[in-house]
Amino acid sequence: MNNTQVRCRFCGTPLEHSFVDLGMSPLANSYLKAEQLQQMEPFYPLNTYVCENCFLVQLPEFQSPENIFSDYAYFSSYSDSWLNHAKDYTDLMVERFGFDQRSRVTEIASNDGYLLQYFKEKGIPVLGIEPARNVAEAALKAGIPTIVKFFGSETARELANEENHADLLIGNNVLAHVPNLNDFVRGLKIALHPRGIITMEFPHLMRLMDENQFDTIYHEHFSYFSFITVKEVFAFHGLKIFDVDELPTHGGSLRIYASHADDASKPVEQRVRDLVRKEEDNGFNTLEHYWSFGEKVKQTKRNILDFMIQAKRRGKSFVCYGAPAKGNTLLNYCGIRSDFIDYTVDRSPHKQGHFLPGVHVPIYGPDRIKETRPDYLIILPWNLKEEIMKQMSHIRDWGGQFVVLIPEVKVFE
Ligand SMILES: [Zn+2]
């Protein structure tokens, strides 16, 4: 790719302004097997840009989505808090919009059916669309109708031809992962019933910046949205955002509610105007605001290394909890390898026995921690820290302490 020709994936403006440059990094979800440790490993630039025209923060595409997602190791059903979130969402939607046996609920990137199972329990017809074959097969086994496909205007047209218009079209943590953003949103418009509702959840750029969550930047995550920008993208494709919720998930997400622009049955709620105002007041419509972030990230790296070097000098041991994509960005950017971290643990059997990409830290099951009694347990998925601290509270028996590195180094006494 010629760097001078990188253009905004929404509006096509040449990208000239770096948002934050995290150096060279491997694909965050490419966990390694033992035999791969002896081989070369591809690293790609992790340099995000901000568009001076629409303010979309974005990573240029280096890998085809097929390579990134075809054997995706992430199974949603392994997180308890995420399952609760999915169940609460289902109740909320049924209560507010009255979906029933005559409705059709379609989820894009439906994973192993973790969310659709709750609609199915209520007797509501569901359809999952999931590009990763291994995860889609888990959904099918659980009785969730699922087609193995990437979603875009072509898939949407096939669904529309079969009269499978969605009354509720769901996309959780997928909008940010779409390389061809315009084709995806065009597809939403095509797949949606004339009176249907779209809800999409994605991390909120405002929270990413406020809370220093630079580790949520990785190659599989192409776009980072403010509300102002996502509203503009949807409007361009004839969709109207009529409501929005600010959620605590993934460190602070938005759930947007959209309909066809001409669907008068869904008036725009005050919350939409309030959030636009809040972002404008915070400078999300000026480049200067975005420029401040890079220096904050460098400072954070220095603080993390300071803390770890001092602890190592005192003879302390570090182990991590979790093997999330965000942990891989953080460890690779900071250069924290097995010289600092003895190992990490993860509940997912699909990750155990593998190694973290780039830094080559081994992944074991959580029981290992009882055996080696580390001084510090670094929680990489900081968004789940309460849950993990409860689960692993026995580390306090030998004086072990929990550590979170984002937004800043914090040791929990
Ligand atoms: Zn743009």
Ordered per-residue pLDDT tens for the chain, 413 residues: 444 579 999 999 999 999 999 999 999 888 999 999 999 999 999 999 999 999 999 998 866 555 555 445 455 556 777 889 999 999 999 999 999 999 999 999 999 999 999 999 999 999 999 988 888 999 999 999 999 999 999 999 999 888 789 999 999 989 999 999 999 999 999 999 999 999 999 999 999 999 999 999 999 899 999 999 999 999 999 999 999 999 998 889 999 999 999 999 999 999 999 999 999 999 999 999 999 999 999 999 999 999 999 999 999 999 999 999 999 999 999 999 999 999 999 998 989 999 999 999 999 999 999 999 999 999 999 988 999 999 999 999 999 999 999 999 999 98
Distances (CA, A) of 355 to 222, 242, 260, 350: 24, 44, 45, 11
Which residues have their alpha-adjacent CB atom under 5 A from ion ligand 1? 8, 10-11, 13, 51, 53-54, 56
Distance (angstroms) between ligand 1 centre and the Cα of 390 equals 43
Distance (angstroms) between ligand 1 centre and the Cα of 380 equals 32
CA dist 258 and 268 (Å) reads 10
Distance (angstroms) between ligand 1 centre and the Cα of 15 equals 8
Provide φ and ψ at 256, rounded to 5°.
-100, 145
Distance (angstroms) between ligand 1 centre and the Cα of 412 equals 41
Helix (H) or strand (E) segment spanning residue 413 = none
412 closest CA partner among 383, 380, 378: 378
Distance (angstroms) between ligand 1 centre and the Cα of 58 equals 9
Distance (angstroms) between ligand 1 centre and the Cα of 55 equals 6
pTM (predicted TM-score)? 0.91
Strands 105-108 and 126-129: parallel
Residue type, 248: P
Length of the chain: 413
Q: Position of tokens 């894009």?
A: 108
Cross-strand partners of 164: none
Give exposure, 6-32, as e/b (b: 16+ Cβ within 10 Å): bebbbbeeebeeebbebeebbbbbbbb
Distance (angstroms) between ligand 1 centre and the Cα of 229 equals 9
Cross-strand partners of 57: 50, 224
Distance (angstroms) between ligand 1 centre and the Cα of 244 equals 22
